[in-house]
Structure 1
């Protein structure tokens, strides 16, 4: 059964009890990366393999996301700054121990490409925080693999 999480704003990326921050580079420019993140939500499973389904909701103001292992999120988009930032908060989930979650994708020009920085800001029970701490390396690897696949996908579709 889905549980309602605490509503948080963008400032949660600075104040969250748990913050995982990872960065990687892609060859596509920021506006192209932004469109892949924000406008082509349904394609996320093709490059972020932890995601099995992603569907825009509420006319693009939200998303429903399913992850491997059966975790589900109902999200609200909290930032849409074309070419620079895309962020969303989780409003409902079936993930145990999670109390609040906000993810932010920051895009900055890097040479001819883009530096992609992902912040996973969360609050949860002590057990949740322990598991997330222990899984930090795996989450980072998943992010880097996803960005590498996104880079390959964008290179194949960008003229």
Structure 2
């Protein structure tokens, strides 16, 4: 059984105040409706590629503020709680627990909007590492940004083949 480490909650202000904020903007060859359906599907980002290995919604449908899920990327597992949900255009969540003691706070924001015949996908990742990891996170920030960015690129490829 995994050991869980509690994280501090976050809100929308964390996307501007976090020590590390990574921003990704991609054009998806799909309508906003198609992207939205994918984001809240049973597989969600796990269907887009190998970056997200597992995703389990732990709240019943319909989803909204307060919804929870568990996401796995490699050896890391994170439990998330949604604090903002705008049906059809985006949502935000913060991590409540992780199986690795890496983060003090962690949050993500997903936005979708029409762009030509497709969708503009904007994704923010906000991270505050635990104290002893502040310096390593600062040094590794470019690599971390590239690593997280693979999920956005996965989405771009996923919708290009649909």
Relative distance call for 1:121 and 1:41 in structure 2 (3 A) is farther
For 1:52-110, what per-residue CA distance to the aligned partner results, in whole angstroms no more than 9, with x for missing partners?
11000122411111112x10000001222122212211110023331111111111210
Aligned residue runs from structure 1 range 130-141, under 5 A:
130-140=139-149
The correspondence for 2:158, drawn from 143, 147, 150, is 150
Deviation at 1:43, TM superposition (A): 4.4
SS of the residue corresponding to residue 8 of structure 2 reads coil
Could you list the per-position Cα deviations for residues 31-56 of structure 1 after superposition, in whole angstroms to 9, with x for gaps in the alignment? 22112112x04243221311111000
Distance 1:133 1:56 in 2: 30
> In 2, distance between residues paired with 1:133 and 1:83?
31
Q: Per the alignment, do residues 112 and 43 of structure 1 end up closer, same or farther by CA in structure 2, a change over 3 Å counting?
A: same
Equivalent position SS for 1:96: coil
Displaced runs of 4 or more, over 6 A: none
Q: How far apart are 1:139 and its partner, in Å?
A: 2.8
Relative to the length of structure 1, the TM-score reads 0.85
In the alignment, which residue of structure 1 is the partner of 2:4? Answer: 2
Number of equivalent positions: 151
Alignment TM-score, normalising by the size of structure 2? 0.83
Residue number in structure 2 paired with 1:80 = 85
Q: Which runs of 5+ in 2 are unaligned?
A: none
The structure that is helix-richer by fraction is: 1
- In structure 1, stretches of 5+ residues that fail to align are none
Q: Which secondary structure state, in structure 2, belongs to the residue aligned with residue 58 of structure 1?
A: coil
Aligned CA-pair RMSD: 1.8
